[in-house]
Chain A
Amino acid sequence: MDIDLFSWWAYSITAGSVFLTLVAIYIYARSKNKRSHAARSKLGPRDFVKDFVFVWVLLGLLAFYIVTINVKSPVIFAVGNVLVEVLLILYLRFNKTKATDADES
């Protein structure tokens, strides 16, 4: 029963993450189509990776959560969460918006 339930759970949470990734790619692609050709040609693979940082973090986090919960360790779960938070806060620091230009885009 436990194994069945875990499989169900792991499939569901993975499906959720895949869905979110697909949504991100979909809205990213749509927005790119709307941009001019000139603007589009300037965007390289590095920009793509940069734009999707949060998606990679999310997928990594998902794998980490599934493994942690499988080994049933609250300690690893807690430590991993703190680490991820630090990473995300660093990411936010680099993407900080000033109060005056937050809406200028």
Chain B
Amino acid sequence: MHAFSSFKILLRQFQNPIFAMLIATAVVAGLFSQPEQSIAIGVMIAISVVLGYYNEYKAEKIVDDLRKNVSIKAVVKRDGKSVQVDSKLLVPGDLVSVYVGDIVPADVRLVQSKDLQVDEATFTGESYPVEKIPDVIATENPIPQQLTNYLFMGTVIVHGAGNGVVTATGKYTELGSISKSLIRAHPETEFQRGVKKYGTLLLSLTLALTIGIFTLNFALGRFWVDALLFSLAVAVGLVPELMPAIVTISLAQGASKMAKAKVVVKRLVSIEDFGSMDVLCTDKTGTLTEGKINLKDYSSLDKDKDPLVLTYALLCNSAIVETRTVGNPMDVAVWEYAKRNGAEEPLKNYSKVDDIPFDYHRRMMSTIIRKDGQSILLSKGAPESVLTRCTYAELRGQKRPLATVLDSVKKRFLAFSEHGYRVLALAYANVEPKQVYSADDEKDLTLIGFLVFTDPPKSDAANAVERLKEMGVDVKILTGDNELVAVKICEELAVPVKGVVTGLDLVQMSWTKIREEVEKASIFARITPEQKLDIIKALKANGHVVGYMGDGVNDAPALYEADVGISVDTAVDISKEVADIVLLKKDLLVLADGINEGRKIFGNTIKYILMGTSSNFGNMFSAAAASAFLPFLPMLPMQILFMNLLYDVANMTLPTDNVDEEYIKKPKRWDMSFVKKYTLFFGPFSSLYDFLTYGIMLFIFSATANQALFQSGWFVESFWTEVLVIFVIRTRRIPFFSSRPGKWLTVLTLCCVALGTIVPFTVLGGFLGFTALPSEYWVLLALMVATYLVLVDAGKVFFYKICKL
């Protein structure tokens, strides 16, 4: 389970290379008789660490609280009653129950099991499910693979149920002892890759500039310590050291807002991909329909509500009926119907011999029962699958060749499907008594009837699909049901159907054809879990950011493969564990709110990056260039660091900024070439105005012989332009003031500007090497900054006409 440590967060603040640079700068300054620089840099390090720590701690706390909403629960006997507790609260000796879809919460010695199969792939590497039985094992010192009477923490129940005694928990379990992760690590998100590329770009720029500045200043005959300090300070000024904190706090605050919209984010970085998502694959149960499956009819081939069909459906059933009925929703629905109507009575006349479990290739399951000494194989499953194994059909108590009634049988099945009902076929065969049965025995069956289920359409589903479409998210339905049911539901809800592809069609398609078809179709019916994976892979290969929403055991691979795995709180453990995002309510509208939030976060993060790469970069570039022709340093290292600190403080509230409505209308992708173009285009704007200030200071205010005056003038100008330009860069709207900035961003930015303005007149200003500026300068500065802001706005007209993100 995830836990966060304050100490680790504190330690992380120092792992940033920028702190190594700052510390190096402070040490060099201290060693070479510049103690005031050393102290000032030390204070700045302390402030930066506190700011970074505070933000990251707050973010981690939010995420930790959110995770508690989706913790894995275990069913345990306490005081003789079965209760659900957080799996972290289990202790050795507890009697726990596990069901299909559960992640085993501790190491457990089985005492009872029913058709229990466990996926131990994450633990032993065994890709096939392993059967577990409570028998005693005679082998001495068995290896874990031989312990068929043990369940290991972290493995997944894929079939059946069982009870057992907890023998070890947490780090004392087999899994804990090998420190293996429960789930495979997720691949990097597109956003993470983007940030990494951006970091590499900045690092190479910083490195080149730092070495260049040092060499140039040293060659110009400046004292090497001054040259080194100056080049290090420029490097510090270039690196957006607050970026990790800004990104983390943006994501955490977004996660907190999303939680209010009933969307719990388990993996923070997935929020960005959530906002970029342009295709959502989902099943129809619970999204287009209410997800409340009820048995409507159990008809034989000639009449409705035939009791024998219901009895056979109860016998050929994988639901676990104990204190609660769990399992396949349709099997559960059959049991719930029977319990409500007292239809379990005939079951006592039958005894169960064996099961042939359901799988997605056969699309059916079978049970072998015995009545009056006769062994009967009962099969239940998708009508297309069951019919292919039938030779006969039972009509009015008479067994006839299926071929003679096939047309009427198909008509009956199609009539149910066309009404949007989900249908299962039921068949039987008398078989020879034996110990073990297999799928090969599912032959020469006699079709006896159909089970008809309802799942009412969701009234707001059409709105939700339409809203997602407006947001640029294409919804694709991936269902195990037949295409008629899926299309009927879509028609009823007025959800547009672009095209239908069935699992059978997919099998016959080449990879290239699949990639074409996934673009055209909106419904994929009768598909297997492997085909779900193929569809997601094909969409990803076509350049989409794909979300997948699922809640079953077989959805786990697709949830993992998708860029954004979305599950629901009622899902099986494994789906919740693999998912990036868990909805507390399975609703597409809830999802739409979450996507909006993801896009806002992406927008605010991009603003910070664009700020850093344009204005900030321009300023540092000007400093480097000016040092080549000025008789003194354009700004002292201490002054650069002070400006950098103030700039960072002003940016702290960026995560709370408003994002324009039109920006979040469409999915946004990370585009490094856009960032590069932005830097190349807007960076020089800032530099030109820095040079203009140099000209004003040198030739109008004659600061050639007054280093402090020059540095003060440029400090104020570069700080004003660097900070105020956020109001222009933060929006694409022209003019920029037609977009309202966030309250806190406005307040803090203006406070920082005020502070930067009065600093040259204060004692602190004197300590930092500033001096008071003449009053005429302020008039020129105001006009110059106004021209700069309007010019950048005009530059946006040109830039956004030809560059998109």
Cβ-defined contact, B732 with A54, below 8 A: no
**Does any Cβ of A come within 8 Å of B437's Cβ?**
no
Cβ-defined contact, A28 with B732, below 8 A: no
**Does any Cβ of A come within 8 Å of B511's Cβ?**
no
Among B663, B699, B800, B801, contact of A70 (Cβ-Cβ < 8 Å): B699
Cβ-defined contact, A31 with B803, below 8 A: yes
Inter-chain contacts of B780 with A (CB < 8 A): 74, 77-78, 81
Cβ-defined contact, B803 with A2, below 8 A: no
Interface mask (B776-789 → A, CB under 8 Å = 1, otherwise 0): 10011001101100
Cβ-defined contact, A5 with B698, below 8 A: yes
Among A58, A78, A95, A99, contact of B662 (Cβ-Cβ < 8 Å): A99
**Does any Cβ of A come within 8 Å of B688's Cβ?**
yes
Q: Which residue of A lies closest to B735 (CB)?
A: A92
**Does any Cβ of A come within 8 Å of B43's Cβ?**
no
* Number of A-B residue pairs at CB separation under 8 A: 152
Cβ-defined contact, B776 with A105, below 8 A: no
Interface mask (A6-45 → B, CB under 8 Å = 1, otherwise 0): 1011001100110110011001100100000000000000
Q: How many A residues, CB 8 Å from partner?
A: 53
Among B681, B687, B732, contact of A24 (Cβ-Cβ < 8 Å): B681
In whole angstroms, what is the CA distance A91 to B735 when docked? Answer: 10
Main SS at interface, chain B: helix
Cβ-defined contact, A95 with B790, below 8 A: no
In whole angstroms, what is the CA distance A9 to B626 when docked? Answer: 9
Among B681, B692, B698, B739, contact of A27 (Cβ-Cβ < 8 Å): B681
Cβ-defined contact, B662 with A100, below 8 A: yes
**Does any Cβ of B come within 8 Å of A96's Cβ?**
yes
Inter-chain contacts of A61 with B (CB < 8 A): 787, 791
Q: Which residue of A lies closest to B618 (CB)?
A: A16
A81-B784 CB under 8 A given contacts A16-B684, A27-B802: yes
Shortest distance between the CB of A83 and any CB in chain B (Å)? 10
Interface mask (A58-95 → B, CB under 8 Å = 1, otherwise 0): 10011001100110111001100110110011011001
A85-B787 CB under 8 A given contacts A8-B629, A12-B629: yes
**Does any Cβ of A come within 8 Å of B733's Cβ?**
yes
In whole angstroms, what is the CA distance A28 to B801 when docked? Answer: 9
Among A20, A51, A53, A103, contact of B681 (Cβ-Cβ < 8 Å): A20
Inter-chain contacts of B784 with A (CB < 8 A): 81
Among B680, B688, B791, B803, contact of A88 (Cβ-Cβ < 8 Å): B791
Among A5, A23, A53, A73, contact of B704 (Cβ-Cβ < 8 Å): A5
Cβ-defined contact, B695 with A65, below 8 A: yes
Among A20, A51, A91, contact of B801 (Cβ-Cβ < 8 Å): A51
Cβ-defined contact, A77 with B700, below 8 A: yes
Cβ-defined contact, B660 with A74, below 8 A: no
In whole angstroms, what is the CA distance A73 to B699 when docked? Answer: 10
**Does any Cβ of A come within 8 Å of B121's Cβ?**
no
Q: Which residue of A lies closest to B662 (CB)?
A: A103
In whole angstroms, what is the CA distance A36 to B512 when docked? Answer: 26
In whole angstroms, what is the CA distance A97 to B478 when docked? Answer: 40
Cβ-defined contact, A81 with B783, below 8 A: yes
Q: Which residue of B lies closest to A52 (CB)?
A: B798
Q: Which residue of A lies closest to B681 (CB)?
A: A23
Q: Which residue of A lies closest to B734 (CB)?
A: A97
Inter-chain contacts of A84 with B (CB < 8 A): 787
Inter-chain contacts of A55 with B (CB < 8 A): 798
Cβ-defined contact, A105 with B700, below 8 A: no
**Residue among B696, B699, B780 with max Cβ neighbours from chain A (10 Å):** B699
Inter-chain contacts of B758 with A (CB < 8 A): none
Q: Which residue of B lies closest to A81 (CB)?
A: B783
Cβ-defined contact, A88 with B685, below 8 A: no
A88-B787 CB under 8 A given contacts A20-B685, A54-B797: yes
Cβ-defined contact, A17 with B738, below 8 A: no
Inter-chain contacts of A70 with B (CB < 8 A): 699
A85-B666 CB under 8 A given contacts A16-B688, A20-B688, A69-B695: no
Q: Which residue of A lies closest to B777 (CB)?
A: A74
**Does any Cβ of A come within 8 Å of B677's Cβ?**
yes
Cβ-defined contact, A9 with B733, below 8 A: no
Q: Among residues 717 to 766 in chain B, which have CB atoms less than 8 Å away from a CB atom of chain A?
A: 731-735, 738-739
Cβ-defined contact, B663 with A103, below 8 A: yes
Shortest distance between the CB of B703 and any CB in chain A (Å)? 11
Inter-chain contacts of A73 with B (CB < 8 A): 700
Cβ-defined contact, B662 with A9, below 8 A: no
Inter-chain contacts of A49 with B (CB < 8 A): none
In whole angstroms, what is the CA distance A99 to B665 when docked? Answer: 12
In whole angstroms, what is the CA distance A8 to B684 when docked? Answer: 17
In whole angstroms, what is the CA distance A58 to B92 when docked? Answer: 76
Shortest distance between the CB of B733 and any CB in chain A (Å)? 5
Among B790, B797, B801, B804, contact of A89 (Cβ-Cβ < 8 Å): B790
Cβ-defined contact, A62 with B688, below 8 A: yes
**Does any Cβ of A come within 8 Å of B691's Cβ?**
yes
A99-B660 CB under 8 A given contacts A12-B691, A89-B790: yes
Inter-chain contacts of B662 with A (CB < 8 A): 99-104
A16-B691 CB under 8 A given contacts A61-B787, A85-B790, A88-B791: yes
Inter-chain contacts of B230 with A (CB < 8 A): none
**Does any Cβ of A come within 8 Å of B661's Cβ?**
yes
Shortest distance between the CB of B778 and any CB in chain A (Å)? 11
Cβ-defined contact, B629 with A9, below 8 A: yes
Among B691, B698, B732, B786, contact of A103 (Cβ-Cβ < 8 Å): B732
Q: Which residue of A lies closest to B794 (CB)?
A: A54
Inter-chain contacts of A27 with B (CB < 8 A): 677, 680-681, 799, 802-803
Q: Among residues 384 to 419 in chain B, which have CB atoms less than 8 Å away from a CB atom of chain A?
A: none
Shortest distance between the CB of A84 and any CB in chain B (Å)? 6
Shortest distance between the CB of B724 and any CB in chain A (Å)? 15
In whole angstroms, what is the CA distance A73 to B691 when docked? Answer: 17
Cβ-defined contact, B800 with A23, below 8 A: no
Q: Which residue of B lies closest to A77 (CB)?
A: B780
Cβ-defined contact, A24 with B798, below 8 A: yes
Among B663, B700, B786, B794, contact of A74 (Cβ-Cβ < 8 Å): B700
In whole angstroms, what is the CA distance A53 to B696 when docked? Answer: 26
Cβ-defined contact, A103 with B684, below 8 A: no
A96-B734 CB under 8 A given contacts A88-B791, A103-B662, A103-B663: yes
In whole angstroms, what is the CA distance A70 to B791 when docked? Answer: 23
In whole angstroms, what is the CA distance A93 to B793 when docked? Answer: 11
Inter-chain contacts of B584 with A (CB < 8 A): none
Q: Which residue of B lies closest to A84 (CB)?
A: B787
In whole angstroms, what is the CA distance A61 to B684 when docked? Answer: 14
Cβ-defined contact, A13 with B798, below 8 A: no
**Does any Cβ of A come within 8 Å of B675's Cβ?**
no
In whole angstroms, what is the CA distance A23 to B685 when docked? Answer: 12
Inter-chain contacts of B694 with A (CB < 8 A): 9
By a beta-carbon cutoff of 8 Å, the part of chain B in contact with chain A is 625-626, 629, 660-663, 665-666, 677, 680-681, 684-685, 687-688, 691-692, 694-696, 698-700, 704, 731-735, 738-739, 776, 779-780, 783-784, 786-787, 790-791, 793-795, 797-804
Nearest first, the 10 closest Cβ-Cβ pairs linking A and B are A31-B802, A8-B629, A103-B662, A81-B783, A20-B684, A69-B695, A13-B691, A54-B794, A88-B790, A95-B797
* Given contact pairs A9-B629, A95-B797, a sample of 18 additional A-B residue pairs in the complex whose CB atoms are under 8 Å apart: A1-B704, A9-B695, A12-B625, A16-B691, A28-B802, A31-B803, A51-B802, A54-B791, A57-B791, A69-B699, A81-B780, A81-B784, A91-B797, A99-B738, A102-B663, A102-B731, A102-B734, A105-B804
Contacts A/B (CB < 8 Å), 26 sampled: A2-B699, A8-B629, A9-B694, A9-B699, A12-B691, A13-B692, A52-B798, A54-B798, A55-B798, A57-B794, A62-B688, A69-B700, A77-B783, A81-B780, A82-B783, A85-B786, A92-B734, A92-B793, A95-B797, A96-B738, A97-B732, A99-B660, A100-B661, A102-B734, A103-B663, A103-B665
